[in-house]
């Protein structure tokens, strides 16, 4: 799976949009971009994923650049409860012999301030 690079920390004001960047310059054509977040001492929570088109759900939007070498997770109106570590993960289509593992990096600690 391709390696990802994220800033270690970011701050955002409550009510503002939080834009979390991720670089994945070695991504290959069959690899998806996944985003998870982990609130302190809880299990990671799935947010969104995409292959090459932009995606939106009730939690967030995912913008993937045309060359697919980077992406941005957007939380449109951040709240204090969005304070968490956000993980960007690039994951190949499942290899049946190796298991569909998620390879987590260090993530970005997002702090939403009142």
Contact criterion met (CB below 8 Å) for 6 and 22: yes
Q: CB of residue 114 vs another protein: minimum separation in angstroms? A: 26
- Joined together, the tokens standing for residue 112 give 């939403």
Give the integer Cα–Cα distance in Å for 114 and 80.
7
Q: How far is the CB of 16 from another protein (least distance, A)?
A: 26
Q: Using CB under 8 A, which of the segments 8-16, 31-39, 52-60, 76-84 binds another protein?
A: 31-39
3-state DSSP call for residue 24? coil
Q: Does residue number 65 form part of the binding site for another protein (CB under 8 A)?
A: no
97 in contact with another protein (CB under 8 A):
yes
């Amino acid at each position: 799976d391709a390696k990802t690079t994220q800033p270690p920390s970011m701050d955002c004001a409550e009510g503002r949009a939080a834009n979390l960047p991720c670089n994945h310059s070695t991504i290959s054509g069959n690899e998806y971009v996944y985003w998870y977040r982990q609130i302190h001492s809880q299990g990671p929570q799935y947010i969104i994923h995409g292959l090459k088109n932009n995606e939106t759900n009730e939690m967030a939007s995912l913008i993937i650049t045309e060359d697919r070498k980077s992406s941005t997770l957007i939380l449109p109106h951040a709240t204090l409860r969005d304070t968490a570590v956000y993980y960007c993960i690039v994951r190949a289509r499942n290899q049946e012999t190796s298991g569909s593992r998620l390879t987590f990096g260090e993530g970005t600690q997002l702090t939403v301030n009142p």
